[in-house]
Amino acid sequence: MGQALTRGDLARARTRGFQSRVSAALQVIEQAATKGKVGVSYSGGKDSTVTWDLVRQIVPGAPAAFFDCGCEYDETYEAVRYYGATVIKSEKSLIELCQYGGYWGYDKPEDPDAEVDFFDFMVREPSEYFVESFDLQVITMGLRAQESGGRRMSAYKRGTLYSVADGTWHCCPLAHWTHDDIWAYIAGKGLYYNKIYDKMAALGIPREKWRVSALLGLCGARTEQRYVYLRQLAPRLFNKLAAMFPKIVSYT
């Protein structure tokens, strides 16, 4: 058992209440599958790992894609390779985007006045490519209300299955799951998970702050202690980024 898991996780996985939560998530995915072909947005993190496993119980051949911004933990890439997710690279890497606009103290920007739309490059365009390439009507994601105020509001207003402007559907079967639910599922199913979480556990980082995301975040760094953790979890990567973007050092 890895350090990220506890005996309590396995005990929780065996409870009737948790099994009901799993059943509810599977019902959401069953409903989503009636809308058309289902795909999974896979981040390499714990939530999307659980999501993909649930989806494959309803849609065994469902494809999954990892949107690669070129700036992730090594362990995340290992998880992507383990599960065989399709890798879709952004047109420009996150590092290139930050260099272009002179973010985080980069001293030779191509356009220091640029307003870079990071979401477009890192999420919207890769997602559109995924949908078109696999002829998808539904994108399933591991977003959970517990993670942020914005996600709580979305879950409250939109529910777990909703249509979006481009005509596709978004499915969030874990919207009302907790951190402990996620780890209970992983423990109960014996799933392989991103090993960066074992390092986070060993450092004593609170479970609710265990996040896998692009390493050069553009917001919330002080609150989430993103760079404090990065410096401890992946010092080589931290030093590489700090050499190019010196302002991140001020957050450690």
CB 60 within 8 A of CB 178: no
Residue 152 has pLDDT above 50, yes or no: yes
Phi, then psi, of 89 in degrees rounded to 5: -85, 140
Q: What confidence score (pLDDT) does residue 219 get?
A: 52
Residue 113 confidence (pLDDT): 83
Residue 126 pLDDT > 80: yes
CATH superfamily of 7-194: HUPs (3.40.50.620)
DSSP state of 162: E
User: What pLDDT was estimated at residue 2?
Assistant: 75
pLDDT, tens only, 208-242: 889 888 888 765 444 457 888 999 999 999 999 99
Summarised one tens digit per residue, pLDDT across range 185-201 is 999 999 999 999 999 99
List the Cα angle 120/126/130 in 5-degree steps: 145
Q: Is 88 helix (H, G, I), strand (E, B) or coil?
A: strand
For the chain, domain boundaries: 7-194
* 27-41, 76-90, 148-162: the lowest-pLDDT one: 148-162
- How far apart are alpha carbons 223 and 33 in whole angstroms? 38
- Helix, strand, coil distribution of the chain in percent, nearest 5: 55, 10, 35
What's residue 221's pLDDT? Answer: 45
pTM: 0.92
